[in-house]
Structure 1
Amino acid sequence: MVRLPDSELSERRGYHHGNLREALLEAARRLIAERGPAGFTLSDAAKLAGVSPAAPYRHFKDREALLKEIAVAGFEALGRRLRAAAEAGGPDGFVAMGRAYLAFAREEPAYYAAMFNTGHPGGGGSADDPGFAALQQAVGRSIGSSDPRRVKVAATLVFALTHGLASLSAPGSIAVPGGLESPEELLDVGVNALLAGFARTP
């Protein structure tokens, strides 16, 4: 699986109380990228961060609390990327957002795994997900509709297609069948067909 850079983590092993939380979060992200969300313990994160097994409990009551914080940070990071893509993409913002989503899943495997494989909500179409809100706005413009329900249904389907392709092509996942286009090309074909259908249907 993809390894996260650990130079900064190594520098922080002689931690002070002010950066213990950050060192543990970085260690956990690296472990998730290497082993998956279920493949390590809180003690493993402590060992990688260069602290005692008891040290993590100063900030996290258990491993689940650590994973939840990583998942929340991942949704926030993804939301920032999607909003920036939507703004830069103009009328075709939803296309840029889809590509940004695929890039995030590929470049941030630890965040992506924590976000969608640990049972911690915080995005992925929830009402308070800023990335999904930006997607709804872009989709609404594309299909020429201001009906909230219609736009939300269309945006949810776009999200489902994007998330499915990202998951299939993520490191360690079932690969997209050989001989087909790249995930980005498949996404463009699927989303365009989906939204064209919505635009034609009253």
Structure 2
Amino acid sequence: MPEERPYHHGNLRAALLDAAERGLRERGADQLALRDLAREIGVSHAAPRRHFPNRQALLDALAVAGFARLDTALRTALEGAGEDFASRVRATMTAYTRFATENAALLELMYTSKHRPDATPIVEAAEAPFRLMNELILQGQAQGMLQAGDPTRIGIVLFATLQGIAALINGNLVAPELLDDLVETAVEQFAHGAAPGGLSQVR
């Protein structure tokens, strides 16, 4: 007679998300299944449907949680940085690239899920960290550290730089221990290219 598994769990939703993120990292999104996750955390195969009616709902919840964690990581980094713009840029860029390299599979899910139809909760969750980075650009412009103009254009260049560094490390093209040095170089080059007149004002 098969072993009966409990239907209830102390914090089933959190346990499912934790197990799903482990599975995402180890096996990829295509291999995630609610039944397998239920078995892993020791509940009945029907129990997960109390929180996630299907696999896509679970993946969407993972993406939303990922953007919330990214926002927390950026805010924590900024809280520990100095008031000057240089320190805040450096802290933000370091926090983002560390998150992106330590959570590569999750980050990929976050961005691919964001562009799926009916992904409104994910789009809304993504607004917080991107708003934070946009505010940083606006601060730099207000202090005369960055050139005036459309902050979105400057932000895209910054974001592309961060994504590029993360992609090189995640693709095993660059050693992870070089991350901090790469970020430092990126800060200097970003400041030089985006400063008024193209002259670096961030040291």
TM-score, length of structure 1 as denominator length: 0.75
Which 5+ residue runs of structure 1 have no aligned equivalent?
A: 1-12
- 1:43 and 1:128 map into 2 onto residues whose CA distance is 29
* Matching residue within 186, 192, 195 for 1:199: 195
Say whether the 8 Å CA contact 2:147–2:194 is kept in structure 1: no
* Matching residue within 163, 172, 175 for 2:172: 175
Q: Does 1:94 align with 2:89?
A: yes
Say whether the 8 Å CA contact 2:7–2:47 is kept in structure 1: no
Q: What is the Cα deviation at residue 135 of structure 1?
A: 1.6
Equivalenced residues, count: 183
Matches within 5 A, 1:42-191: 42-90=34-82, 91=84, 92-109=87-104, 111-119=106-114, 122=122, 129-143=127-141, 144=144, 150-170=150-170, 174-177=171-174, 182-191=178-187
How has the CA–CA distance of structure 1 residues 127 and 54 changed in structure 2, closer, same or farther, with 3 Å as cutoff?
closer
- 1:198 and 1:18 map into 2 onto residues whose CA distance is 51
- 2:44 and 2:177 map into 1 onto residues whose CA distance is 48
- 1:102 and 1:114 map into 2 onto residues whose CA distance is 16
Say whether the 8 Å CA contact 1:89–1:96 is kept in structure 2: yes
Deviation per CA, 1:77-136, whole angstroms, max 9, x where unpaired? 11011022123223221111111112223334553343234456636xx89622222222
Q: What is the Cα deviation at residue 35 of structure 1?
A: 0.9
Q: What is the Cα deviation at residue 201 of structure 1?
A: 3.9
Which 5+ residue runs of structure 2 have no aligned equivalent?
A: 199-203
Question: AA paired with 1:169?
Answer: I
How has the CA–CA distance of structure 1 residues 46 and 71 changed in structure 2, closer, same or farther, with 3 Å as cutoff?
same
Question: AA paired with 1:188?
Answer: E
Q: Does 1:27 align with 2:22?
A: no
TM-score, length of structure 2 as denominator length: 0.75
CA RMSD of aligned residues (A): 3.0
**Secondary structure of the residue that 1:89 maps to in structure 2?**
coil
